Amino acid sequence: MNEDEAFEYVKNTLRKEKITPYHSHELEVVKSVERCINCGLCISHCPVVAAVGVDRFSGPRSIAVELSRSPPEFWSTADVVYLCTGCGTCREVCPKNVDIPEVVNLIRARIFEHRPDLVPKSLHVLREVLTEYYLAFEPWEDKEEKNESRDMRLERLGLPFVQDKILDKAEVLLYPGCQAEERAQEVREAAKVILDHFDVDYTLLDDMSCCGLPSRLMGDHETERVLAKQLKEKVKKLGIKTVVTTCAGCTSSLSDISYRNEWGVPAVHILEFLAEEIGLEKIDSATKGSTEFSDVHVTVHDPCHLIRHTSRQITDFALDILRQLPGVKVTESEANDSCCGGGGLVSYHSDDVAKAVVKENMEAIQKTSADRLVTPCPLCTAQIESNLFKTGSSVEVDDLTVFIAQRLPKKR
């Protein structure tokens, strides 16, 4: 056998033995997981364990000391590892900051490669959408209908319509993310309203494509790479200075890929952009005169991808901005930072688990007696809204970007 044949033979053997060599960036994750001392603090804090019990989801500790130790056996973790919502609570409470969310992705990638039959079917369906449309949702077939839906939403929310700006060159790229692009269009529109109001030189993509987070979460490295590469090319072509997004998942994901793939451009959430670039004083003076809205009592939900995957400081920005909006009273909920269950693609295949996870939030939200919940993420908004609705709650839910945009005076 010559050397090339030999390599093919060995690769084939590794496949049979279900061994995929760790990539160099994965070695950091593996090293992090080795730090686990089995203390179990994560189990006391994991929202999925709290919701469904340690028998159904054996929890982050089990992922660290048990499930991630032997790659040839990764397939056998398929009954557990897809139930992680990736909220990052474990990593945050861990004295060793063991990177459980990433090792979950690593394991899922191995299952995806070696035992696709054990990957939940709905994730394969999602994959097909992603590979066909480069978006996490099937796009509207009829552009007109899409616009009608958008206009209805804008009307209901009292938001003005700002024309899409697609420029060759701009300071800022507004990246709405798949949810705001195809489903929660009001969030995309609200972001435009805000940027427009503060005269930000921004552009949208002429051809929006997914950041790759869903592919990463299901372990589909190949699609993840394709999507990340596409986006990098688009960003590079535009020559922008900052990417601003309205989605929590996109914030952490874009921060991650922009760093790893050397975009040389930071990616921030619109709240960060408001607090750090626009400044609270400007927002204050802009919203001061706004009288169109009656007083409202809100409570806030902090998206995992912002607070635990990016920085807790973003919550402070949200509260700072909310507290200076006229007529807005904020009451913090006891479960403000507890996962809504919408993460990790869990709701795609185990909706009962996602629902059980969000239950804690539901109860805490009711307890605040707020009439509105705001959250800076369209996915959390959707997850919490549908669950509140099902429980017959009267609490309304708004994406925070929309909530802020509503309180800006209409530009003439």
Partner 1 sequence: MCMSDSEFDVVVIGGGSTGTAVARDCAMRGFRTLLLERDDIASATVGTCAGMISSGLKYRSEPDIMKMCSTEVVHLNRIARHIIMKNPILTPFRDLSDVGSDMEYVESYSEHAEERDVPEMMFLTPEATIAIEPLLHPDVVFSVYYEEFFIDPFRLCLLQALDAKRHGAEIKTYCEVIGFETVNDVIQGVVFYNRITGTTEKIGAKIVVNAAGPWAPKIAGFSGAELELRLNKGAHIILDRRVVNVGISVKALDGRYIYLFPHENTTLLGTTALDTWEDPDSLVASFDEIEYLMRSIETYIPSIRDARIIRTMAGVRPLVADWKVPEGKVTRGYQVIDHENGLISFTGGKLVMCRHMAEAVTDIVSKKLGNDSACTTHEKPLPGNEADVDVEALSAEYGVSMHALERMRARRGTEMTKILELTKDHPEWKTTICTCEPIIEAEIRYAIREEFPQTLNDLRRRLRLGTGPCQGTFCTYKAASILSEELDLQGDDFLVDILDFRAERWKGIRPSMRGEQLAQEELAQGMYSCVGNLDQSDVDYDLKPWEEGV
Partner 2 sequence: MDMECDLLVIGGGMAGLVAGTLAAEAGLSTILLRKGQSATAYSSGAIDIIGYLPDASEPFSTPEEGLAAIAGLYPLHPYSIIGYVDGIKPEDVVDEIVGRTRDTITWLKEKLKDTIAPLSGDFKSNIFPITILGTTKPTCLVQKTMYSEDLQTREDSVLLFTGFSGNADFNPSVAAKTYLEDRIAIGEPPRKVGHCTLRVSPFGKPYNVSSVEIARHLDHERSIEDLATQLKPQVEQLGATHVAVPPVLGIKTAMDNKKKLEDQIGAEVFEMLGFPPSVPGLRLQLALEEMYRTNGGKMLVGHEATSYIKTEGRITKVSAKAPRREMNIEAKAFILSTGKYIGGGLSGDENGIRETVFGLMTVTDAYHSAGEIIPSRYTNRIAISPEGHPINSCGLTLDPHFRPINEDGVEWASNLYSAGAVLAGYDYSIEKSGLGVAAVSGFSAAKHAIDFIKEVA
Question: Which residues bind to partner 2, rule: CB under 8 A?
Answer: 37, 39-41, 43-44, 49-50, 52-56, 58, 88, 91-97, 252, 255-256, 259, 275-276, 307-313, 317
Q: Are 294 and 327 in contact (CB under 8 A)?
A: yes
| Interface with partner 1, residue 106, by CB under 8 A | no
d(CA 379, CA 384): 9
> Tokens standing for 46?
């994991």
| Interface with partner 1, residue 65, by CB under 8 A | yes
d(CA 376, CA 244): 13
Q: Tell me which stretch binds partner 1 (CB under 8 A): 76-84, 148-156, 291-299, 335-343.
A: 76-84
Of the residues 52, 76, 92, 153, which one makes contact with partner 1 according to CB under 8 A: 76
Per partner kind, with CB cut-offs from 5 to 8 A, the member of partner 1, partner 2, none near residue 68 is partner 1
Pattern 23-42, binding to partner 1, x per CB under 8 A?
A: xx--x--xx-xxxxxxxx--
| Interface with partner 1, residue 225, by CB under 8 A | no
d(CA 63, CA 79): 12
Per partner kind, with CB cut-offs from 5 to 8 A, the member of partner 1, partner 2, none near residue 53 is partner 2
CA quadruple 142, 148, 152, 155: dihedral positive or negative? positive
Phi, psi torsion values for 46, nearest 5 degrees: -65, 125
- The half-sphere exposure of 351 on its side-chain side, counting CA atoms within 13 A, is 5
Closest CA to 149 of 163, 281, 157: 157
Of the residues 46, 49, 70, 234, which one makes contact with partner 1 according to CB under 8 A: 70
- Residue ranges in 140-169 that form contacts with partner 1 under rule CB under 8 A: none
Per partner kind, with CB cut-offs from 5 to 8 A, the member of partner 1, partner 2, none near residue 73 is partner 1
Closest CA to 176 of 86, 265, 254: 254
Torsion angle defined by CA atoms of residues 315, 336, 351 and 356, in that order, rounded to the nearest 10 degrees: 160
Nearer to partner 1, 7 or 161 (CB): 7
Element (H, E) at 233: helix 221-238
How many residues line the site for partner 1 (CB under 8 A)?
48
> Tokens standing for 189?
């529109």
Nearer to partner 1, 117 or 351 (CB): 117
- Binding region for partner 1 (CB under 8 A): 1, 3-4, 6-7, 9-11, 13-14, 17, 19-24, 27, 30-31, 33-40, 55, 58, 61-62, 65-73, 76-80, 95-96
